[in-house]
Amino acid sequence: MLRVLLVDDNAFNRELVTDILEPAGFEVLGAERAARGLQLAQTFKPDLILMDIAMPGIDGIRALSMLKSNPATSAIPVVMLSAHAMRSDKLAAFDAHCAAYMTKPINTRTFANELVEIIKTAKSSPEETPC
């Protein structure tokens, strides 16, 4: 079973992603704030983190940088999720070493398979960031 940590301040988004991933065999743990997500990343030890960019307090890009600078969480691939399709957001995520960048709304039919592929790619070549 693949473990996913979902960090998103929107309860509907957390519920939607959980409803897509759990039937596909994922274990999903949610956090509504980046600070809580940073804590859970160390204890939950997910195979992948899904991180919203726009959150109150610590935003997703800053949280991603914090994850990558911590030896306990640096190898966990992080997929940035954003309702913004702005190039500057994608470049900032790439600079912070995300594994992928996806825009919302997500494709509910292909989302789980896309995440499986991202996890496989990250495990086979952890130094690459295809974001």
The amino acid occupying position 62 is R
What does the angle CA 16 – CA 48 – CA 12 come to, to the nearest 5 degrees? 15
What are the pLDDT digits (tens) for 34-87?
999 999 999 999 999 999 999 999 999 999 999 999 999 999 999 999 887 678
The amino acid occupying position 65 is S
DSSP assignment of 25-80 equals TEEEEEESSHHHHHHHHHHH--SEEEEES--SSS-HHHHHHHHHHSTTTTTS-EEE
pLDDT of residue 86: 75
pLDDT of residue 94: 82
**123 versus 6: which is more confidently predicted?**
6
**Domain limits of the chain?**
2-124
SS3 content of the chain, % helix, strand, coil (to 5): 45, 20, 35
What are the pLDDT digits (tens) for 95-126?
888 999 999 899 999 999 999 999 999 888 75
Query: Which numeric CATH code is attached to 2-124?
Result: 3.40.50.2300
Dist. CA 25–CA 112, nearest whole Å: 9
